Amino acid sequence: MRSRKPIEGRFTGKVAIVTGGANGIGRATTEEFCREGAAVVIVDREEQQGTAAVTELVGQGFHAALISGDLREEAFLARIGNETTDRFGRVDYLVNNAFSFIAKGEDASMKDWDHTFQAGPAAYALLGASLAPLMQAHGGGAIVNISSISAFVAQPGRWTYNTAKGAVHNLTKCMALDLHRYGVRVNSVSPGWIWTREVVRAAGGDRARWDPIWGQFHIQGRCGDPVEVAAPILFLVSDDASFITGADLPVDGGYMALGSEGNGGASHFAGSE
């Protein structure tokens, strides 16, 4: 598990909302925000895990709170901004991370499609739109939408997930354009294979075995850690990214740059004679 040195005090006085902040990339992002001085509101439907995360962070001296609910419910989305400002006085950043992981192909039902988009790009859009005026009240802010390498490629049996992640890219551009009037920048990141709960489950918990196997899909020869996605997210909301909006940042270890020959492992060939 990799770690990074925080930039001390970079977000002191700021308030971030991280959806799906109790696990994986969301949890790593929450921790990094806290380490750099921000107060963080975790929005997560898994109340028990969210409470445990907040308890741990507060115990370390950080400012954190949980708002638990279902992002498919419009009334719940509308509550998040007000509850955050009631607790911490402002909203500066939003990380739209929570996303449905229904991955179905031609067997997908209308219910599957509805769930995927409601708990994905639709929730991203509605929450971002509701928070932008609150960000404007304190000089503007920034939003990062979590997309995926799956937005760019075909993968078997994943019509729902890949289509919804693809929608995140055009949504990000549209949000960046329309929310600019509030002083809000909007970008996305597209992670490669990251050791989150779903990947760990698929590996049966055996990272030592599966990291080099799945790593062949990446130039760097390995899967990533959640903190390696969290760091670019923090960069994109920071003042260092003040002239970046409507963009996507691949955080994929070279996945999308790799050709069909692979990364030089078993599929490598000399090609000289």
Domains of the chain: 15-257 (3.40.50.720)
3-state percent breakdown (helix, strand, coil) of the chain, nearest 5: 45, 15, 40
pLDDT-derived band of residue 1, with 50, 70 and 90 as boundaries? confident
Q: In terms of DSSP bridges, do strands 39-43 and 93-96 run parallel, antiparallel, or are they unpaired?
A: unpaired
Kindly tell me if the per-residue pLDDT of 272 is higher than 50. Answer: no
Kindly tell me if the per-residue pLDDT of 181 is higher than 60. Answer: yes
Q: Strand (E) positions, the chain?
A: 15-19, 39-43, 64-67, 93-96, 141-146, 184-191, 248-251
**pLDDT for position 265:** 63
161 catalytic? Reply is yes
Selected residue with higher pLDDT from 10 and 266: 10
d(CA 143, CA 70): 20
d(CA 205, CA 41): 29
Beta bridge partners of 142: 93, 185
Selected residue with higher pLDDT from 203 and 134: 134
DSSP state of 97: -
pLDDT-derived band of residue 267, with 50, 70 and 90 as boundaries? very low
**pLDDT for position 270:** 39
Active-site hit among 93, 124, 161, 255: 161
Determine the residue type at 207: R
**pLDDT for position 264:** 76
pLDDT-derived band of residue 245, with 50, 70 and 90 as boundaries? very high
Q: Percentage of the chain with pLDDT > 70?
A: 97
For residue range 62-113, list pLDDT tens digits in order. Answer: 999 999 999 999 999 999 999 999 999 999 999 999 999 899 999 999 999 9
Q: What's the whole-model pTM score?
A: 0.94
**pLDDT for position 143:** 99
Averaged pLDDT for residues 227-237: 98
Kindly tell me if the per-residue pLDDT of 56 is higher than 70. Answer: yes
**pLDDT for position 29:** 98
Distance of CA 207 to the CA centre of its chain: 22
